[in-house]
Amino acid sequence: MARRQKNPKERFSFLRELVTEFQDTNSTEAKEQVLANLANFAYDPENYVHIKELNIVDLFLDNLQDSNANFTEFAIGGICNLCLDKSFKQHIYKRGGVSKVISCLSSEREEIVLSAITTLMYLVSPDSKGDITTAPVIDCMLRFQDSDNKRLSNLASVFVQDYCSVDQIQNAKLLSSTYNKKDSFDLGT
């Protein structure tokens, strides 16, 4: 059976209604549902033109550091779905998205961390690589590699192997050991 194609005007109208609902509602549950739906729509390249026109990437970026972990999870999921597109990748980078995505690495929620790592890998470009492969991020990935959580460990290993030089890894380890020694000293141990 052939897949029914949605009219582009209907897609735009529906996405616009979702954005309006997110902005107008006071219900946290409704906002969570809208962000989840928008993240799912971000998976389909047919929606990209509408997502650009409605500034949905900015909506995701604005919710990456929300105190509501569900908002963060759906926002990082939406960004992860979009960031392989070159124009979205550039927009996310120019809007300071890399630092916001990096902040998601400290989440207690596994899905947020996994999406953040994946997003960082997708965001790597000649312009952004220096901002992504910093010593603190590499140190974080090295710690994730030692995790008992195989999904986290494997994804962090891919990040380190594919995006980090031997020198960067050594530098991150050196800085980490220096930092840890300083903390131990400061604590009187």
129-151 confidence digits (pLDDT tens): 999 999 999 999 999 999 999 99
Please give the backbone phi and psi of residue 140, each rounded to the nearest 5 degrees, phi first. Answer: -60, -45
pLDDT for 5: 52
pLDDT score recorded for residue 8: 74
User: pTM of this prediction?
Assistant: 0.89
pLDDT, tens digit (0-9, with 9 covering 90-100), for 12-58: 999 999 999 999 999 999 999 999 999 999 999 999 999 999 999 99
